[in-house]
Amino acid sequence: NLKSGIVGLANVGKSTLFQSITKSSLGNPANFPFATIDPEEARVIVPDERFDWLVDHYKPKSQVPANLTVYDIAGLTRGASTGAGLGNSFLSHIRAVDAIFQVVRCFDDAEIIHVEGDVDPCRDLTIINEELRIKDIEFVNKALEALKKQTRRGGQSLEMKKLKEEEATTEFILKFLEEGHDIRSKTDWTPKEVEVINPLLLLTAKPVVYLVNLSERDYIRQKNKYLPKVFEWIKANSPGDPILPISAQFEERLTLMHDDAAAAEECKNLSTQSGLPKVITTMRKVLNLASFFTTGEDEVRQWTIRKGIKAPAAAGVIHTDFEKTFIQAIAYNYSVLRELGDEAAVKAAGKIMTKGKDYVVEDGDILLIKAGA
């Protein structure tokens, strides 16, 4: 199960947004079995029209959509990397997530104090990026010191050669960070470099989705005086990362209606819609995930996998034992089912395949796993 964390300076709207996510019908439908929520953790449904279609098609007794865990990570301040505020404990929480939602305040409100004195989203973005990068530098430095201790012994063994290579790569990573770059901003790391980077769990390597928090008015009219500069900043410093305008206050107002129909009516009247579904689907995209489905009259279920994994690993997501005992998978893609109308037609067209251990599961596959003792 993949985890994401909401990060940002104090008073930018993180908690408001988190609360809206947990309370919206998106996150908490009555038939969702995993909706147990504690104050800082929520599991939300990932909206997917393929799943909705399958449920409509099979009308199963039970349905289990895909979900994503979201954490509200409080406590980022200037100087957190050197222990200010909640400092290090906060940073270790970020280390534990797979991806980051970074909330940036772009709303003016004299009543809501800004910890830095005034509203200046680009300055805030710089503070947070620097805190995360400083922490990474510290981490890579430690790793480098440990490596140097080992390579000091010298020698020509194969193991030593490998350690020296790792040391050189680590030095390169350190320099890259010190020059002011985030790890994720470089997209052509070699597989060898990735092997060194991954175990370090670096903060600036994690995918980021920027959530630009606007007033309700600005969100609805899709206009805000800070936005052009924010887009520019992200393009220059964090190229490729998605940016989503959102209004925490508006989302909060919708959820407080406690009535989906009324909320929908309100959105219609304002010619707008909730930004939350897009927040979740975008996060899923940057996490590079794919889905497969299991279907039938008893249950329709959407399973989450990393892109590019093989059938036994996918089977292991259903049940750990299945990975080892995997025999074969009966497979066809959702797109084929959708095109031909029903399973019988897919079968008649000869499009139901038997796949072995080396089959790379495709996004949208409908699988029936056969596994044995």
Contact criterion met (CB below 8 Å) for 322 and 351 = no
The token duo for 333 is 């893609």
Residue type, 5: G
Binding track, positions 96-135, relative to ligand GDP; x by CB under 6 A:
-----------x-x--x-----------------------
Cα separation, 132 vs 183, whole angstroms = 11
Q: Is 187 annotated as a binding residue?
A: no
HSE-up of residue 244 (Cα within 13 Å, Cβ side): 20
16 binds ligand GDP, rule: CB under 6 A: yes
361 binds ligand GDP, rule: CB under 6 A: no
CA-based nearest residue to 136, from 204, 206, 238, 237: 204
- Which of the stretches 61-69, 117-125, 162-170, 243-251 binds ligand GDP when contact is defined by CB under 6 A? 243-251
- Which of the stretches 4-12, 151-159, 316-324, 335-343 binds ligand GDP when contact is defined by CB under 6 A? 4-12
3-state secondary structure of 289: strand
Please, which residue, 128 or 177, has the CB nearer to ligand GDP? 128
14 binds ligand GDP, rule: CB under 6 A: yes
- Which of the stretches 9-17, 300-308, 332-340, 346-354 binds ligand GDP when contact is defined by CB under 6 A? 9-17
DSSP string, 118-143: S--HHHHHHHHHHHHHHHHHHHHHHH
Please, which residue, 168 or 256, has the CB nearer to ligand GDP? 256
247 binds ligand GDP, rule: CB under 6 A: yes
**8-state DSSP, 204:** G
213 binds ligand GDP, rule: CB under 6 A: yes
255 binds ligand GDP, rule: CB under 6 A: no
Cα separation, 141 vs 138, whole angstroms = 5
**Main-chain phi, psi angles of 122, to 5 degrees:** -70, -35
Interface contacts to ligand GDP, rule CB under 6 A: 8, 10-16, 107, 109, 112, 213, 215, 247-249
